[in-house]
Amino acid sequence: DTEVTQTPKHLVMGMTNKKSLKCEQHMGHRAMYWYKQKAKKPPELMFVYSYEKLSINESVPSRFSPECPNSSLLNLHLHALQPEDSALYLCASSHKTVSGYTFGSGTRLTVV
Amino acid sequence: QKEVEQNSGPLSVPEGAIASLNCTYSDRGSQSFFWYRQYSGKSPELIMSIYSNGDKEDGRFTAQLNKASQYVSLLIRDSQPSDSATYLCAVNMEYGNKLVFGAGTILRVKS
């Protein structure tokens, strides 16, 4: 298995909703990441998990809450988002933090 | 100064030509360098990685690294219309141990 699986592929949520994005990999990678990508912009790092522990938080607002239940799973909990949070949310994993990352297909989030 | 810089393009090349994409980076301690291809509406796909000075070839792709000049490039030989995409240069920053992307170069291969 050489894939990173993200669900859902599309999500529309209201500003008062709570939702979660899920990411799963079975490549034995011990580093997992959340990136945010706006249209015509490069991916921007949000969070890094290394060996299931949060190692980097790029000053992301608290309405985004990451969770790593085990070495294969990564969640991103969303609450009270704003319309400007609408973007493609990408999960990635790597063998080490210095290795190339494998990206999932992303969740396209729209906040209304 | 941006951490990773690329010319946004678009870079237009005729089918069969060589496309040359360039990237510079600011962190002199960086050790890992990557090129990703991203089609519109899709996620980035890793196409090349390079860790030491010199050239690395994989099929029609050649990555070149010059750490002294803090410069990375990607050559695509025999360019095909299917190569039309945004190419993202990514550098693993030593100080933060994280992958930072350049803004990307749009490549258009005309048949």
Query: pLDDT tens, B48-97?
Result: 999 999 999 999 999 999 999 999 999 999 999 999 999 999 999 876 67
Residues of B in contact with A41 (CB under 8 A): 103
Give the residue among B110, B101, B69 at the shortest CA–CA distance from A41. B101
In this complex, is the C-beta atom of A41 within 8 Å of any C-beta atom belonging to chain B?
A: yes
Alpha carbon of A76: minimum distance to chain B alpha carbons (Å): 18
Q: What is the pLDDT of residue B97?
A: 72
Average pLDDT over residues B31-47: 95
Which residue type, as a one-letter code, is found at position B35? Answer: W
Q: Match 């600011």 to its residue by tokens.
A: B26
d(CA B97, CA A50): 11
Q: What is the pLDDT of residue B16?
A: 98
Tell me the mean pLDDT per 10 residues along chain A, length 112: 92 96 95 96 95 94 97 97 98 86 96 96
Q: What is the pLDDT of residue B95?
A: 65
Residue of A nearest to B43 (CA): A105
d(CA A24, CA A104): 9
In this complex, is the C-beta atom of A86 within 8 Å of any C-beta atom belonging to chain B?
A: no
Q: Which residue has the higher pLDDT, B6 or B98?
A: B6
Radius of gyration of chain B (CA): 13
